[in-house]
Amino acid sequence: KTTLIIGNSNHIREYVTISLGTVTGGGITRVGDGNLIMAYTHFGHDCIIGNNNVIANSCQLAGHVEIENNVTLGGLSAVNQFCKLGSFAFIGGFSAINKDILPYCIAQGNYAVVRATNKIGLERNGFTDAEVGDVNKAIRILTKSEGTVEEKLNRIREECAPGAKIEKFIDFIKTSKRGVAI
């Protein structure tokens, strides 16, 4: 048995297609609450979409894509199967995504890479100045410094104030299956 579960208060616009889960892929495609899914968008089978996301016109999600919460995906973007988009990420339009996109960042390109910290989005969503500063420092350490990923994660642990946001950032990187787009 396969299922499609759509939560509450979603705005699903014209010509959107959302595929059922598949028997071999977990059986469920799930869309959370409060999402805006614009025209001509496609969600492949077994996608897991969180809450309060904005998916702009003509975005294409392959099967098994996961989008956490409060993500903005710019129009005409395509996401490869098994990719994960982290919370509060902002992905510029016409991007092709073949690796996981870090939480809290702005990513863009073909193939998409991290361009900056999503400072405005974080501030609008109630992050403190200190939290935004730590997230920015963590993103810069990961994307701009030398060393292995493990060395960079150790630097993040040493240089950023401990807290839920930084732990989520580190955990996202450590659990990535496709690799992180940096």
pTM recorded for the entire structure: 0.97
Cβ-based burial of 144 (10 A; exposed 0-12, middle 13-18, buried ≥19): exposed
User: pLDDT tens digits for 123-164?
Assistant: 999 999 999 999 999 999 999 999 999 999 999 999 999 999
- Encoded tokens for 151: 């060395």
Q: In this prediction, what percent of the chain has a pLDDT beyond 90?
A: 99
Q: What is the mean pLDDT of residues 101-128?
A: 98
Q: What is the mean pLDDT of residues 49-78?
A: 98
Residues annotated as catalytic (active site), given as ranges:
45-46, 63
